[in-house]
Amino acid sequence: MRLRLGVLISGRGSNLQALIDAATDPAYPAEVALVISNKPDAAGLERARAAGIATLVLKPKDFADKAEHEAAMIAALESAGVGLVCLAGYMRLLSPVFVSAWLDRLINIHPSLLPAFPGLDTHVRAIEAGARFHGCTVHYVRVEMDTGPILVQAAVPVSDDDTPDSLAARVLEQEHRAYPLAVRLIAEGRVTVGGNRVAVRDSSTPDAVIAPII
């Protein structure tokens, strides 16, 4: 039985699309069951609808407080039989209550090689810092922003003539490889979380833990 994914988005949903595309392969061990957005105009909602995936818009202003908003998200995810929640450009911080409810069943993709450059503007900061490599990280979510056990990282070289946009484009290509890989590892039961570290069974395969540098 395929692992059912709940994907939270706020914008264009390009990483959502990568997961949708991966799931078109019958051999892929996961499927997107529900997409939730806090913004009704998020382009990712159309991507989900085009693929026949259930969508739900839950605007925070329609709820009394954050707790009520997140309770509605939790109820919808549980009703859809979701086993893993994937953040894909979801631009709201989740409360300790939500994170605890989905502990070790909640992952995020961040556009840097964590723990370097948590937060925003990662591509600008990488260039300004003179980093020779940059990339993306798929990690389990913890209460502190951009922390948690690391599942998959993909690296790209930083060129001397890179702009934030050119670097972001190359990193995004790797995001679209790294996120489906991370979900596959979880869905295949190959991942064990211990403390702040992830162990991957059969990780002798090079791409089991890090996507190739391009």
- Polymer length in residues for the chain: 214
Closest CA to 2 of 18, 19, 14: 19
Which is catalytic among the residues 69, 110, 123, 139? 110
Contact by Cβ (8 Å): 76, 36:
yes
| Residue 134 annotated as catalytic | no
C-alpha 39/C-alpha 209 separation (Å) is 33
DSSP per residue, 15-79: HHHHHHHHHTSTTSSEEEEEEEES-TT-HHHHHHHHTT-EEEE--GGGSSSHHHHHHHHHHHHHH
- Which residues are part of the catalytic machinery? 110
